Amino acid sequence: MREMMRQAMAQLRSQRMLTVVGITGTALSIFLIMVVVMLQQVKVAPYAPVSNRPRMLYAQYASIVVENTPYQSNGPMSYESAKELYGNLETAERSTIFASYLTVATMTVPGGRPVSADMLTTDGEFWNVYDFTFLSGKPYDQTAVDAAQHVAVIDESTARRLFGSTDAAGREFQLNHSPYTVAGVVRDVSTLAEECFAHVWVPLTTTPLINNTWNSYLMGSFSAVVLAKSSDDFAAIREECDRRMRAYNKTVKESNWQFISRGRPYTKEEVLVGQWANVEPDLKTYRRDRLIVFLILLIVPAINLSGMTESRMRQRREEIGVRRAFGCKRSTLLMQLFGENLMITVVAGLIGWALSVGFAYLFSTMLFLEGYSNTLTMPKVSLEMLVQPSTFAWALGFCFVLNLLSTGVPAWRASRTNIVNAINKK
Amino acid sequence: MSQKILKQIRNEWRSNVWLCVELLIVSVVLWYVTDFLVASYTISSRPLGFDVEHCYKLTFDQVSETSPEYVPYDDEGQAAVRDLQQLLERLERRPEIEAVCVSANSHPYTGSNSGGAVTVDTLKASGYNIFRYVQPDFMRVFRYEGLNGETPEELAEMLRQGKTLISANILEEHGIKDPSGFIGKRVYLYEDTLWSLTVGAVIKPVRYHDYKQGQMNRTVVIPDVFWQDWTIRVRENMDKDIVEKLMADAETQFRVGNYYLANVEPFSRLRDNILRSEHTAQRNQLTIMAFLLVNIFLGMLGTFWFRTQQRVPDLAVRMVSGATRRQIFRLLTGEGLLLLTIMTPIALAIDLNLAHLELNTYLEPHGYFSWTHVLLCGGIAYGLMAIMIVAGIAVPASRAMRIAPAEALRDE
């Protein structure tokens, strides 16, 4: 092993230019691939307050149809429907129901300027499904929600704007012309935790949104999220949801509308892929498109690198010939050449990975603000979100593939060199 | 000269095959990206048919029933309409505001639409045409223009008379480019034959947004009152701090009955939001383009670094026998450029196939394929790659030429 390292180092030093070109090419390739991976990872990876993401199933929307007609409606549900379809599931740990979109809250304290912020209306379980960090006070529970108590949880920056301090639990203020009391103050949430992001959270029973229903009170403004005990239970949960749907369809028969599942509830990755409420997410096409991007980012640098490896091998033909003459096995040679290059690739890969984390951290606004956004707040990332064990594994995996592609053919050819020709420089 | 280059290429055939494969892949991908970018640029530089500069969207919310400030309305919505009407008049009286209107799913850069089939006289425009339900001043806020030179004010007047406006492209599927002959004829929506409107004028096509092509650019403007989306146009020199000024009066002037002004946002933000995914796609494609070009540079640099080193004595002989630096430079870069030129027809054949399979970007009016477009994008790809090839070879070439001939030929 140490022998190999020494050889690799000597190689690197003897052809400085090739080394620089090779490392730059590899690092650039891994850098771009890792940025692409991160763009998706921040939306599905677990971090506070969405630490439970891998155990979550999402019913952001529902679909209803009138059987044997083209009539259908797709979108958020009413609170009633959400409770019937996803509330208190036996197979799940718990579930929560909250508004499907943000609304604007205008908040004032006597003598202060009005403060506008993004508001999300939720049930009480919301606070058990998402792990917000409370700086002051505590969340409101389901009893407060059922009693339509005017209490609110606000984030750190809103607390500062309204009260000039984060220690605001118990303080009173006006929210959309109704009096509210601060139940708790939480640490600011990144917009990338899009499912629970807001500046203000209030019980869903206290705003007019709950009366915003259509299609015979079946559809409305709410989504549901189911928290499983483990992701192994997903199939069982979906089955129970289907049973619930069949039962609920019987009770709403008179409306003529019938719920259909479209494979809901979805995993976070499916939610990310599904753009429309009326189309089931197409994970296959999404993954194929990503694969094409990865291949383009890998194959072109791999061809470059293999050209350079080839030149390097040619310089070492004599050495290889001598070693073969003294009985070195082909597989040993192949492994050595492969290992030597892997070391270079991994070093370059680490540089690329570190660059990608730094880049993502510095240019998060430009990078992560990708599509339609409900809020004016810009996306922020923390290192906790970017440095995921899984992204690191991906980076190493891509290095390995890149190395396989770029040294495979040259190393294989070099190991098959005719001994006599090699030693005679033919 | 080119014979020499061909011989050079043959001598290094093994590594040249690799270079060719790389050039081929990059050429095809670059063509694809160029096609997308050229299409995006072409579409977005066409006229929009509306103007959102100095325009703002206002949001009015209702206080909750649980609020002590809530006023129960007794009659069926009449009091509510009176309140809304009053808000509208107050906005119209503001000196900064040029025009105000309310509409439903109709203003530019909205994600919600109304639409469906429409029949003009006896001709049906099938599929999903956009219906814009608006108050007359919508024309003044977004400055729609008539095909025959009607001003926004004249168009607003037609809406006031209860007439409908159709866009010039509404009957394009019937090959009609100027439906002015249908002015005064009846228009039926959603294949409903009982209710109809009269065509008042033909307007210039109104695009759904900057990058939208196809059916959603066909428009029917319908006079109606839905108290949903509030939009205003501010006078040209009065944009400064307008959001703050309006919000400052939210609690006094714009607080009527159960309604209050909750938000004012400029259309530039709505526009950015709707177009963001398109701009992200452009950013990503440009990044891939830059990445591939850098790789061509690195590839050429790496390959020719080695090659020119081996060839130093050969180059020295040439220099001794009178070849100028420029000639030698051309000999070296010529090799790379010739490889590119050999691969380009193959790449173009693949590009043409992609266009025929409709895997590239759709661009009106010719669709996925037109010779000029394919060749233009192929040409751009060729040009960009040629620049990178010359740059990549130039570094090792100039290094090789710097060595004095005598030094290089000492061995001989």
A28–B59 C-beta distance less than 8 A: no
- Domain match, A250 and A113 both: yes
Judged by CB atoms within 8 Å, which residues 131-160 of A form the interface with B?
Answer: 148, 150
How many Cβ atoms are within 10 Å of B174's Cβ, its own excluded?
11
The residues, ordered by sequence, that sit 6+ positions from B118 with a Cβ below 8 Å of its Cβ are B124, B125, B129, B131, B170, B187, B188, B189, B220
Residue scoring higher pLDDT (A392 or B25): B25
Most confident of A319-323, A381-385, B288-292: B288-292
Number of inter-chain CB pairs under 8 A, A vs B = 121
Q: What is the pLDDT of residue A406?
A: 80
Most confident of A28-32, A142-146, A332-336, B355-359: A142-146
Distance from CA of A290 to the nearest CA of B (A): 12
- ipTM comes to 0.82
- DSSP assigned state of A140: -
Among candidates A24, A177, A372 on the partner chain, residue whose Cβ is nearest the Cβ of B69:
A177
What's the average model confidence in pLDDT over B22-43?
Answer: 94
Q: What is the pLDDT of residue B2?
A: 66
| Percent of chain B predicted with pLDDT > 90 | 58
A299–B25 C-beta distance less than 8 A: yes
What's the average model confidence in pLDDT over A188-214?
Answer: 92
- Domain match, A219 and A135 both: yes
For residues A38 and A359, give the distance between their C-alpha atoms in angstroms, rounded to a whole number: 11
Judged by a CB distance cut-off of 8 A, whether residue A19 touches chain B is no
pLDDT reading at B1 higher than 60: no
Residue of chain A whose Cα is closest to the Cα of B298: A21
Among candidates B18, B262, B295 on the partner chain, residue whose Cβ is nearest the Cβ of A306:
B18
Q: What angle do CA B178, B182, B187 make, to 5 degrees?
A: 120
What's the average model confidence in pLDDT over B20-42?
Answer: 93
pLDDT reading at B95 higher than 80: yes
Among candidates B25, B66, B273 on the partner chain, residue whose Cβ is nearest the Cβ of A148:
B66
* The token pair that represents B128 in the structure block: 């999903």
Judged by a CB distance cut-off of 8 A, whether residue A316 touches chain B is no
The shares of helix, strand and coil residues in chain A, as percent rounded to the nearest 5, are 50, 15, 30
Judged by a CB distance cut-off of 8 A, whether residue B353 touches chain A is no
Interface test with A, best of B191, B245, B278, B291 (most A CBs within 10 A): B291
Judged by a CB distance cut-off of 8 A, whether residue A179 touches chain B is yes
The type of residue at A119 is M
Among candidates A297, A306, A307 on the partner chain, residue whose Cβ is nearest the Cβ of B291:
A297
Among candidates B21, B262, B301 on the partner chain, residue whose Cβ is nearest the Cβ of A21:
B301
Judged by a CB distance cut-off of 8 A, whether residue B276 touches chain A is yes
Q: Which of A144-148, A371-375, B208-212 has the lowest mean pLDDT?
A: A371-375
Task: Report residue A142: phi and psi, to 5°.
Answer: -65, -30
Q: What angle do CA B315, B317, B322 make, to 5 degrees?
A: 95
Q: What is the pLDDT of residue B412?
A: 60
A148–B21 C-beta distance less than 8 A: no
Q: Which of A36-40, A127-131, A195-199 has the lowest mean pLDDT?
A: A36-40
Judged by CB atoms within 8 Å, which residues 396-425 of A form the interface with B?
Answer: none
- Domain match, A366 and A321 both: yes
Q: Does residue A271 sit within a domain?
A: no
- Domain match, A418 and A320 both: yes
pLDDT reading at B335 higher than 90: no
pLDDT reading at A15 higher than 80: no
pLDDT reading at A230 higher than 90: yes
Residue A52: band (very low, low, confident or very high) from pLDDT cuts 50, 70, 90: very high
> Is the separation of the CB atoms in A64 and A205 below 8 Å?
no
Distance from CA of B278 to the nearest CA of A (A): 8
Task: Answer with the one of A239, A265, A291 that is the final residue of a domain.
Answer: A265
Judged by a CB distance cut-off of 8 A, whether residue B153 touches chain A is no
- H, E, C per residue of chain B: CHHHHHHHHHHCHHHHHHHHHHHHHHHHHHHHHHHHHHHHHHHHCCCCCCCCCCEEEEEEEECCCCCCCCCCCCCCCHHHHHHHHHHHHHHHHCCCEEEEEEEECCCCCCCCCEEEEEEECCEEEEEEEEEEEECCCHHHHHCCCECCCCCHHHHHHHHHCCCEEEECCCCHHHCCCCHHHHCCCEEEECCCCCCCEEEEEEECCCCCCCCCCCHHHCEEEEECCCCCEEEEEECCCCCCCHHHHHHHCCCCCCEECCEEEEEEEEHHHHHHHHHHHHHHHHHHHHHHHHHHHHHHHHHHHHHHHHHHHHHHHHHHHHHHCCCCHHHHHHHHHHHHHHHHHHHHHHHHHHHHHHHHCCCCCCECCCECCCHHHHHHHHHHHHHHHHHHHHHHHHHHHHHHHHCCHHHHCCCC
- Domain match, A294 and A217 both: no
- Domain match, A357 and A224 both: no
- Angle between helix axes A389-415 and A283-315 (nearest 10 degrees) is 40
pLDDT reading at A181 higher than 70: yes
Distance from CA of A90 to the nearest CA of B (A): 34
pLDDT reading at B64 higher than 60: yes
For residues A244 and A84, give the distance between their C-alpha atoms in angstroms, rounded to a whole number: 7
Q: What is the pLDDT of residue A426?
A: 55
- Domain match, A65 and A184 both: yes
Q: Does residue A273 sit within a domain?
A: no
pLDDT reading at B145 higher than 80: yes
Tens of pLDDT, residue by residue over A16-32, are: 777 888 888 889 988 98
Tens of pLDDT, residue by residue over B160-206, are: 999 999 999 999 989 998 999 999 999 998 878 888 999 999 999 99
Task: Answer with the one of A237, A265, A293 that is the final residue of a domain.
Answer: A265
Judged by a CB distance cut-off of 8 A, whether residue B327 touches chain A is no
Judged by CB atoms within 8 Å, which residues 106-145 of B form the interface with A?
Answer: 111
- Domain match, A40 and A75 both: no
Q: Does residue A191 sit within a domain?
A: yes
Share the mean pLDDT of chain B. 89
* The token pair that represents B3 in the structure block: 């014979």
Among candidates A116, A178, A304 on the partner chain, residue whose Cβ is nearest the Cβ of B295:
A304
Among candidates A22, A303, A369 on the partner chain, residue whose Cβ is nearest the Cβ of B21:
A303
Among candidates A104, A301, A304 on the partner chain, residue whose Cβ is nearest the Cβ of B59:
A104
Residue A380: band (very low, low, confident or very high) from pLDDT cuts 50, 70, 90: confident
Domain span at A16: 2-47+283-423
pLDDT reading at A371 higher than 80: no
pLDDT reading at A335 higher than 60: yes
Distance from CA of A14 to the nearest CA of B (A): 13
Q: What is the pLDDT of residue A355?
A: 93
A310–B302 C-beta distance less than 8 A: no
What's the average model confidence in pLDDT over A155-162?
Answer: 95
Q: Which of A117-121, B79-83, B136-140, B229-233 has the lowest mean pLDDT?
A: B79-83
pLDDT reading at A1 higher than 70: no
What's the average model confidence in pLDDT over A32-42?
Answer: 87
Task: Report residue A99: phi and psi, to 5°.
Answer: -60, 145
Residue B87: band (very low, low, confident or very high) from pLDDT cuts 50, 70, 90: very high
Sign of the C-alpha dihedral, residues A353, A354, A360, A361? positive
Residue scoring higher pLDDT (B342 or A69): B342
Q: What is the pLDDT of residue A425?
A: 61
For residues B96 and A314, give the distance between their C-alpha atoms in angstroms, rounded to a whole number: 77
Judged by CB atoms within 8 Å, which residues 30-49 of A form the interface with B?
Answer: 32
- Domain match, A361 and A327 both: yes
Judged by a CB distance cut-off of 8 A, whether residue A18 touches chain B is yes
Tens of pLDDT, residue by residue over B381-401, are: 999 999 999 999 988 888 887
Tens of pLDDT, residue by residue over B43-63, are: 999 999 999 999 999 999 888
What's the average model confidence in pLDDT over A341-357?
Answer: 87
Q: Which long-range contacts (CB under 8 A, 24 or more apart) does A251-259 make?
A: A251/A84, A252/A216, A252/A218, A255/A215, A255/A216, A255/A218, A256/A66, A257/A64, A257/A65, A257/A66, A257/A73, A257/A215, A257/A216, A257/A218, A258/A64, A258/A65, A258/A66, A258/A67, A259/A62, A259/A63, A259/A64, A259/A81, A259/A85, A259/A218
- Domain match, A135 and A254 both: yes
Among candidates B260, B274, B301 on the partner chain, residue whose Cβ is nearest the Cβ of A177:
B260
B222: left (phi over 0), alpha (psi -120 to 50) or beta: beta
- Domain match, A293 and A413 both: yes
Query: Which residues of chain B neighbour A25 with C-beta distances below 8 Å?
Result: 295, 298-299, 302
For residues A327 and A324, give the distance between their C-alpha atoms in angstroms, rounded to a whole number: 5
Distance from CA of B263 to the nearest CA of A (A): 8
Judged by a CB distance cut-off of 8 A, whether residue B305 touches chain A is yes
Judged by a CB distance cut-off of 8 A, whether residue B67 touches chain A is yes
| Percent of chain A predicted with pLDDT > 90 | 44
Number of domains observed in the structure of chain A: 2
Task: Answer with the one of A236, A265, A294 that is the final residue of a domain.
Answer: A265
Q: Does residue A362 sit within a domain?
A: yes
Judged by a CB distance cut-off of 8 A, whether residue B281 touches chain A is no
- Domain match, A38 and A129 both: no
Q: What is the pLDDT of residue B42?
A: 94
Query: Which residues of chain A neighbour B64 with C-beta distances below 8 Å?
Result: 176-178, 206-208
Tens of pLDDT, residue by residue over B360-383, are: 889 988 888 889 999 999 999 999
What's the average model confidence in pLDDT over A84-99?
Answer: 95
Judged by a CB distance cut-off of 8 A, whether residue B17 touches chain A is no
Residue B316: band (very low, low, confident or very high) from pLDDT cuts 50, 70, 90: confident
Interface test with A, best of B62, B66, B211 (most A CBs within 10 A): B66
Judged by a CB distance cut-off of 8 A, whether residue A283 touches chain B is no
Q: What is the pLDDT of residue A347?
A: 86
